[in-house]
Amino acid sequence: MAKPARRIGNLPAEATSFVGRRHELAELRKKLASARLVSLIGPGGVGKSRLALRAATDLSRGFPAGAWWVELAEVRVPGLVANAVLAALDLRDQAGTEPLVLLLAHLRERHLLLVLDNCEHLLEVSAAFATEVLRAAPGVRVIATSREPLSAPGEHVLPVPPLDLPSTDSAEPLHRLRQNEAVTLFVERAGAASGAFELTEANRRAVADLCRRLDGLPLAIELAAVRTRILTVEQILERLSDRFGLLTGAGRAALPRHKTLETAIDWSFEMLSAREQALLRRLCVFAGRFTLEDVEGVCTSDEVPAGNGLELLSSLVDKSLVIKEDARGVACHRLHETMREYAARKLVDAHEHRELQERCTVYYLSAAQRMSPQARFRLPEWLAWMDLEIDNIRPVLRRCLVESDSVRGIQLATSLAWFWITRGTTEGVRWLDELLASGPGNPETLGWSYFIRGFLAVLQGNWEAARPALEKSMAAARDAGQPVQLANALSMASIAAAMAGDRPSAQSFLDLAHDLAAELDDVPAKVGVLQARALNALYGGDFETLKLVSTEGARMSREVGDLYALHMMNLNLGGAALLAGDLEESKARYQESLRIAYRIDDRIGQYYLLGALGLHAAIAGQPKTAAQLLGASEKIRIGAGATVMPAMSPIINQARETAAAALGASRFEAELETGMRLSRDTAVSMALGEPVHPGGEETSGVGVGLLAKREAEVARLVAEGLSNKQIGARLFISERTVDSHVRSILNKLGFNSRAQIAGWVSSVPSR
What HEC string does 176-202 produce?
A: HHHCCHHHHHHHHHHHHHHCCCCCCCC
Of 105, 125, 159, the residue at which a domain comes to its end is 159
Is residue 699, in this structure, part of any structural domain at all? no
What integer pLDDT is reported at residue 25 of this predicted model? 86
**Do both 265 and 279 map to the same domain?**
no
**Do both 559 and 645 map to the same domain?**
no
Query: What residues contact residue 377 under an 8 Å CB cut-off, 6+ apart?
Result: 560, 561, 562
**Do both 575 and 622 map to the same domain?**
no
CA dist list (Å): 506 to 478, 493, 535: 20, 7, 10
What integer pLDDT is reported at residue 2 of this predicted model? 53
CA distance linking residue 100 with residue 2, whole number of Å: 20
Number of domains in the chain: 6
**Do both 244 and 343 map to the same domain?**
no
**Do both 438 and 450 map to the same domain?**
yes
Is residue 750, in this structure, part of any structural domain at all? yes
CATH number of the domain bearing residue 714: 1.10.10.10
**Pairing, β 330-334 against β 323-327:** antiparallel
**Do both 423 and 549 map to the same domain?**
yes
Of 213, 248, 270, the residue at which a domain comes to its end is 270
Query: What residues contact residue 626 under an 8 Å CB cut-off, 6+ apart?
Result: 614, 615, 617, 618, 655, 658, 659
Listed residue (186, 172, 298) closest to 240, CA to CA: 186
Listed residue (615, 606, 604) closest to 577, CA to CA: 615
Is residue 238, in this structure, part of any structural domain at all? yes
Local structure of 612: helix, strand or coil: helix
What does the buried/exposed string (b/e) look like for 46-69 if buried means 16 or more CB atoms within 10 Å of the residue's CB? bbbbbbbbbbbbebbeebebbbbb
Is residue 681, in this structure, part of any structural domain at all? yes
What does the buried/exposed string (b/e) look like for 103-138 if buried means 16 or more CB atoms within 10 Å of the residue's CB? bbbbbeeeebbbbbbbbbbbbebbbbbbbbbbeebe
CB atoms within 10 A of CB 763: 21
Give the angle subtended at the CA of 323 by the CAs of 26 and 46, to the nearest 5°.
35
What integer pLDDT is reported at residue 472 of this predicted model? 97
CA distance linking residue 349 with residue 157, whole number of Å: 35
Of 574, 602, 630, the residue at which a domain comes to its end is 602
Is residue 358, in this structure, part of any structural domain at all? no
Domain with 747, as residue range(s), is 709-763
Is residue 694, in this structure, part of any structural domain at all? no
What integer pLDDT is reported at residue 250 of this predicted model? 44
Residue 4 DSSP one-character state: P
**Do both 473 and 544 map to the same domain?**
yes
Is residue 285, in this structure, part of any structural domain at all? yes
Query: What residues contact residue 704 under an 8 Å CB cut-off, 6+ apart?
Result: 694, 695, 764
What integer pLDDT is reported at residue 13 of this predicted model? 44
CB atoms within 10 A of CB 548: 16
CATH number of the domain bearing residue 114: 3.40.50.300
**One-letter amino acid for residue 88 of the chain:** A
**Do both 486 and 595 map to the same domain?**
yes
Is residue 360, in this structure, part of any structural domain at all? no
Cα-to-chain-centroid distance, residue 625 = 31
**Do both 131 and 20 map to the same domain?**
yes
Do 38 and 28 meet the contact criterion of CB atoms below 8 Å apart? Answer: yes
Residue 321 DSSP one-character state: S
What does the buried/exposed string (b/e) look like for 649-686 if buried means 16 or more CB atoms within 10 Å of the residue's CB? eebbeebbebbbebbeeeebeebbebbbbbbbebbbbb
Query: What residues contact residue 450 under an 8 Å CB cut-off, 6+ apart?
Result: 436, 469, 470, 472, 473, 476, 489
CA distance linking residue 417 with residue 312, whole number of Å: 35
> Helices marked H in 110-178 — which ranges?
123-136, 174-178
pTM of the model: 0.86
Run of H or E residues at 428 = helix 425-438
**Do both 384 and 326 map to the same domain?**
no
Report, as ranges of residue numbers, the positions in the chain whose pLDDT lies below 50.
Answer: 1, 13-16, 249-253, 699-705, 765-767
Which sign, positive or negative, has the C-alpha torsion 496, 497, 501, 507?
A: negative
CB atoms within 10 A of CB 206: 16
Give the angle subtended at the CA of 725 by the CAs of 724 and 728, to the nearest 5°.
85
**Do both 570 and 664 map to the same domain?**
no
User: What phi and psi values does residue 140 have, to the nearest 5 degrees?
Assistant: -95, 140
User: What phi and psi values does residue 330 have, to the nearest 5 degrees?
Assistant: -100, 130
**Do both 593 and 741 map to the same domain?**
no
**One-letter amino acid for residue 87 of the chain:** A
